[in-house]
Amino acid sequence: TYEQMALHALAAARVVAMKLSSSSNALKRRAGGLVAVMYVSEGKDADAVNVLETVAENACQQHGTRVLNVFRDDEYNRTGFTLGVGVTSVAGHATPSVEPLKQSALALTEQALKTIDLRNHSATHPRCGAVDHISCHAVGDAPDDLAAQLAKSLGEGIGDRLKVPVLLYGLASSTGTQLADLRRKYGYFRRTSQDVGWSGAHRVEDGQVEADYGPSTIPPESGILMLGATRWVCNYNVPIVLGKCRVDADAADALAVARRLARQLSERGGGLPGVQAMALTHMIDDMGSTIEVACNLLDPSTCGPDAVQAEVERLFGEEGEFGWTVKRGYVTNLTPEDMLEQLVPLR
């Protein structure tokens, strides 16, 4: 009958709707991720970095997380590890646990502290600790407060268990302190060596910090760790090559000018919105001396790499005294979209 046919059609439509809803929810469950980007003060000793990478891989396998990216920077004697996990972000579901990613990051931190003695470390990139900085980010549809929860939980674990002073920033800070504030307050940018820039233990006045977790006295072998949660930050570095014929006479003067131009590039210096920049000596070889303008793009959707590249080319092009060549810049990590493709949901 007509009524029976209508009932069958309605039942079939409900089945299709349920399947579509289930498929949609599955997509939503896989649309979020939680990542921890960890910077350790070792990049030149390949064997040491290999050990750290193996520990990270094993810890992630054990806890159901993933090593998404490893960026070894020999010139800066520094390596960035990006660990991540997928999260469920469907309305009505319980907040996922940050414990798997916390334990993975804690294992890598512990090994790094066993491997690296800051007193024996030197680099042309500033650093304040053996594990220098950990930034936590929610990507995709994952809620920002999950990144803050991870940062605080991980900070507590590192401070209490590993006895390293931990300073919180961003969404993890109860006072809204930002990373740049901490770095200026505790002498992160203050050079300690005329030859390489930064060498030996990190020192602050009285050897004390206002730690959120862990001791307030700085252990010379481990230094301090700055740890926070923010929206995704893109790291974009632009190499500036100074020709060989001018290296000996002008390298120091060129670096001073490059620092001035990096300040002009930064939002703090009246430059591009959401951009933090500093100029660093990157390498010296047979081709000449390379300075890098290292940038944090705090809001890549507003001001991305292309805009930064164009402004660097303009600024350095107008300052023609040193005849430098601006190379195409590069990012040091994956995009959030690339990360999401690799991540699996928390179970």
Residue 122 contacts residue 196 (beta carbons within 8 Å): yes
- Whose CA is closest to 46, among 84, 77, 5? 77
264 Cβ partners below 8 Å, 6+ apart?
A: 270, 271, 315
Would strands 32-40 and 78-87 be described as parallel, antiparallel, or unpaired?
Answer: antiparallel
Instruction: Give dist(CA 256, CA 242) in Å, integer.
Output: 13
Cα within 13 Å of Cα(228), Cβ side: 22
Whether 125 sits among the annotated catalytic residues: the reply is yes
* Nearest to 311, CA basis, from 268, 280, 273, 283: 273
Question: Which candidate, 292, 239, 298, places its Cα nearest to that of 268?
Answer: 298
Give, in degrees to the nearest 5, the angle at Cα 148 between 174 and 152: 70
Q: How far apart are the first and last CA of the chain?
A: 48
Quick check: 248 and 193 in contact, CB under 8 A? no
**C-beta neighbour count of 1 within 10 angstroms:** 6
Q: Which of 8, 93, 121, 125 is catalytic?
A: 125
Show which residues are catalytic. Answer: 125
